[in-house]
A and B are shown apart, each in its own frame.
Chain A
């Protein structure tokens, strides 16, 4: 029985930082795939679960999107994902951590599985944790794949494997981000545009801020994309372009009447995200005439439900509200807001 440790030594903390940096680089690596290493590890995994076909056709594609196209063309074959998962990965996880891997989709993520592989590797290779021989052998295979290729799909007679991306750009918080083209791109042209970790249309990245139409803000349904629109265009320009009139203000909040472009003016609440300091603008009900009206309506509170003295306290984190179940009246503001 090994000795349980409850904290890392100063030296181990240093090693953790270096190990984390090393494996982060694995996750965002843009070098060409190490095909021999990837294929050897995948074939070894198939051997571990006793797949009869020892010489499957290995199809390399430039991106996960092209892999899916290839997979679609070859559909009808039995995927070995479930068998691989149960035999190789779950055996490792069941002895270490039950919850990982329950929400994966149909493929394996190659380098993008670095986050969990590195966790187990650090415990084994740096801290000296002893795993069962089989689990340790499987971990080596996961390590080799993460270090050598992108996403992959495994079938009885063939394996589809993706090359790694050619571009990965991030902000200082290590979130996908690029304001000069795609944040993630593959050699076949498939790409992802993202600002501060939010997937956005290419148009938002590629169009200079001064040429972006502020009206987009009112048509965009996703709040995170709206946030990035505001961040890029700038709240002042948006208010100017939409002929904003301040109806009411309270602290960081303003109730604006914005021009919808068809002669109508409608109320929108301008507010600042307290955690990240970025402005949001959201439409509120036409009957809202003050910031209080707007906040209450936004938080599902009618005047009859508000009792500042005896009402229940509630909390809010971003767009999520938690209210005591069964309470009939509430304070108008959350006791905790983050």
Chain B
């Protein structure tokens, strides 16, 4: 069961407050219960853009998308984790 989130922030930096955020009308972000993944919907006809303070903006075509975060490996803990910024 996916849950509509009250925002369209794909990821937010803990130490900077900077955000990867989808701007535009006809955009919705869902938590579909899968760990580490969010579900992004861009409606047909919508003009959506992913913005961030330090990265160039990217237009996103209508459709459904899985949002993942890149992973890294902690060789001391010997486990992988999502990159946190």
Check B15 against A224 for contact (C-beta < 8 Å).
yes
Check B66 against A283 for contact (C-beta < 8 Å).
no
Instruction: Looking at the assembled complex, report how far the CB atom of B66 sits from the nearest CB atom of chain A, in whole angstroms.
Output: 5
Check A298 against B54 for contact (C-beta < 8 Å).
no
For B54, what are the chain A residues with a Cβ–Cβ distance below 8 Å? 273, 275-276, 318
B66-85 with Cβ < 8 A to chain A: 66-76, 80-85
Question: Does A323 sit within 8 A of B, measured CB to CB?
Answer: yes
Interface size on B, residues (CB 8 A): 39
In the assembly, what is the distance between CA of A333 and CA of B52, in Å? 21
Question: Does A221 sit within 8 A of B, measured CB to CB?
Answer: yes
Check A224 against B75 for contact (C-beta < 8 Å).
no
In the assembly, what is the distance between CA of A276 and CA of B85, in Å? 15
Question: Does A260 sit within 8 A of B, measured CB to CB?
Answer: yes
Check B65 against A222 for contact (C-beta < 8 Å).
no
* Total of A-B residue pairs, C-beta within 8 Å: 122
Check A322 against B69 for contact (C-beta < 8 Å).
no
Check B69 against A319 for contact (C-beta < 8 Å).
yes
In the assembly, what is the distance between CA of A222 and CA of B50, in Å? 22
Give A278's nearest chain B residue, CB to CB: B54
Name the segment of A11-19, A27-35, A107-115, A196-204 touching the other chain: A196-204
Give the A-binding residues of B (Cβ under 8 A).
10-11, 13-16, 18, 20, 39-40, 50, 52-58, 60, 63-76, 80-85
Q: What are 23 residue pairs bridging A and B, where the CB atoms are less than 8 Å apart in the complex?
A: A198-B13, A200-B15, A221-B81, A224-B13, A224-B15, A224-B16, A224-B85, A260-B76, A266-B75, A273-B54, A275-B56, A282-B72, A285-B73, A285-B80, A299-B70, A318-B11, A318-B85, A319-B69, A320-B10, A320-B70, A321-B66, A321-B70, A324-B64
